[in-house]
């Protein structure tokens, strides 16, 4: 089947016409990670023809179309990247290298260089930067699809080209770098959700606004819940282990054989339930995945669906002593509720104040949430995991729900600190607490 997939991809490329590429770019080819995933799906009798068509027909045709600089928006993909004029990209690349060095991960192995300057010198355009990443040989760059470029063309008429590239594409380019380099696989890679969790978590470490924006247009769209899974994985196994997924290190080496097996089984269970090309909506199952991770660490076997149905007070993490790493997770939980996925006019993740300036903490559900937003088109109402040991300390003192008033972007840090202080306190609490 491998040969059949590769041949179909090659025919799609040939039929799409000329695809101008730089001399240092790799050949256009079906990315090995995708090929091996399709082969394994076929072996499991779970590989619909529509999925093969998506990756071996539609995507290569879109990539070729994207490579042709036939309009002003596509020309931007081939415009030289000048870091002095791209402050978001510069900050994210510097943050990426700093995060990798801090975690003891070899930057050159993952990114292909050791500094931002060296990377851009070797790959001086957006498409050159993308072409060497995990999916760069066979998928179009996200954020530059035809519908995206229509919006970009309007902005370009009245805006600065470098500012537009920086705001609209920096997050996508750095995200693809966080997936690691193109590599050959001889079997299926890590489950897609785990690969996305690793890449988005690393991207948030590089520049948090690329996942949780401060301004319109700068963020990846609709993927923040992947970061939640990444936060839990990093909490449990360390950042270096999580980011090792992007280096192609087997998950059994990173997380242990039992957890790796549980993740693999969860991935195929999830796949069988939908059998569609992966999209951001897959992150909506984050709650079940983090429960599955908790059970697997404790040596308990469960399907993804069964794990998702478990109440947090029945899971191991709930009963653990509060750790400083749990407290550190609260700031992200609060910040994650200050964004919305909306049409503006194209699909974007935007900064947003919670409706009514109010947040809720459901204690036994370990869920911090906002009320539904009228303009939200995906993933509403916004929610995030509140660390279970901190929730347990509140429950033991009688709290069942916490209402947080005056929840504005300017008070995010104060809200997180107040929640930690409340959980660390002593004495009885009413069933509903107001902050």
pLDDT tens digits along 384-418: 999 999 999 999 999 999 999 999 999 999 999 99
Residue 320 has pLDDT above 90, yes or no: yes
State yes or no: pLDDT of 329 exceeds 90.
Answer: yes
pLDDT at 376 exceeding the cut of 90 = yes
**Lowest-pLDDT range of 57-61, 201-205, 281-285:** 281-285
Q: Report phi then psi at 48, rounded to 5.
A: -60, 150
Q: What pLDDT does residue 400 have?
A: 98
Q: What band does 344 get if pLDDT is binned at 50, 70 and 90?
A: confident
Give me the pLDDT at residue 419, please.
98
Report pLDDT digits (tens) over 68-88: 988 888 899 999 999 999 999
Answer whether 384's CB lies under 8 Å from 228's CB: yes
Mean pLDDT of 221-248: 97
Residue-wise pLDDT for 79-120, tens only, equals 999 999 999 999 999 999 999 999 999 999 999 999 999 999
d(CA 390, CA 372): 25
What mean pLDDT comes out for the span 312-327? 98
Q: Nearest CA to 35 among 245, 188, 193, 199?
A: 188
Q: Is the pLDDT of residue 217 over 80?
A: yes
Question: 138-192: per-residue pLDDT in tens?
Answer: 999 999 999 898 888 888 888 899 999 999 999 999 999 999 999 999 999 999 9
Position 23 scores a pLDDT of 84
In contact, 345 and 418? CB cutoff 8 Å: no
Under 8 Å between Cβ of 335 and 212: yes
What local confidence, expressed as pLDDT, does residue 22 receive? 83
- Answer yes or no: are the C-beta atoms of 386 and 349 closer than 8 Å: no
HEC states along 63-130? HHHHHCCCCHHHHHCCCECCHHHCHHHHHHHHHHHHHHHHHCCCHHHHHCCCCHHHHHHHCCEHHHHH
Query: For residues 390 and 326, is the Cβ–Cβ distance under 8 A?
Result: yes
Residue 391: the pLDDT is: 98
Amino acid 345: pLDDT: 79
What percentage of the chain has pLDDT greater than the value 90? 90
Give the pLDDT of residue 423: 98
Q: 248 vs 25, which has greater pLDDT?
A: 248
Strand partners, 158: none
Q: Name the pLDDT band for 346 (thresholds 50, 70, 90).
A: confident
């Amino acid at each position: 089947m491998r040969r059949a997939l590769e041949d179909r991809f090659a025919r799609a490329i040939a039929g799409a016409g000329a695809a101008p590429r730089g001399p240092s770019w790799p050949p256009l080819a079906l990315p090995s990670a995708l090929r091996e995933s399709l082969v394994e799906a076929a072996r499991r009798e779970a590989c619909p023809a529509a999925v093969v068509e998506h990756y071996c027909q539609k995507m290569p045709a879109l990539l070729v179309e994207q490579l042709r600089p036939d309009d002003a928006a596509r020309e931007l993909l081939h415009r030289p990247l000048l870091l002095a004029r791209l402050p978001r990209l510069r900050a994210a690349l510097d943050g990426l290298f700093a995060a990798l060095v801090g975690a003891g991960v070899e930057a050159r192995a993952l990114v292909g260089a050791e500094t931002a300057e060296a990377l851009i010198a070797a790959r001086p355009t957006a498409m050159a930067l993308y072409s060497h990443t995990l999916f760069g040989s066979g998928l179009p760059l996200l954020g530059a699809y035809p519908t995206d470029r229509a919006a970009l063309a309007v902005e370009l008429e009245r805006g600065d080209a470098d500012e537009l590239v920086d705001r609209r594409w920096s997050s996508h380019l750095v995200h693809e770098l966080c997936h690691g380099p193109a590599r050959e696989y001889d079997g299926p890679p890590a489950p897609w959700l785990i690969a996305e969790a690793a890449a988005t978590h690393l991207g948030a470490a590089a520049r948090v606004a690329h996942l949780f924006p401060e301004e319109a247009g700068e963020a990846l769209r609709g993927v923040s819940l992947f970061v939640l899974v990444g936060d839990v994985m990093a909490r449990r196994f360390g950042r270096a282990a999580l980011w090792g997924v992007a280096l192609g290190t087997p998950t059994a080496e990173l997380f242990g054989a039992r957890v790796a097996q549980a993740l693999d089984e969860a991935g195929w269970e999830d796949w069988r339930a939908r059998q569609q090309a992966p999209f951001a909506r897959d992150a909506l199952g984050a709650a079940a995945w983090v429960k599955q991770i908790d059970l697997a660490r404790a040596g308990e076997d469960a399907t993804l669906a069964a794990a998702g149905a478990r109440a947090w007070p029945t899971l191991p993490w709930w009963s653990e002593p509060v750790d400083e790493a749990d407290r550190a997770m609260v700031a992200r939980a609060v910040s994650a509720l200050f964004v919305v996925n909306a049409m503006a006019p194209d699909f974007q993740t935007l900064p947003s104040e919670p409706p009514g300036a109010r947040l809720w903490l459901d204690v036994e559900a370990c869920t911090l949430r906002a009320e539904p937003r009228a303009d939200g088109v995906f993933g509403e109402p916004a929610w995030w995991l509140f660390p279970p040991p901190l929730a347990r300390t509140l429950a033991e003192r009688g709290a069942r729900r916490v209402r947080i008033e005056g929840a504005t972007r300017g008070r995010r840090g104060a809200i997180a600190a107040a929640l930690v202080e409340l959980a660390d306190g002593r004495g009885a609490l009413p069933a509903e607490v107001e902050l």
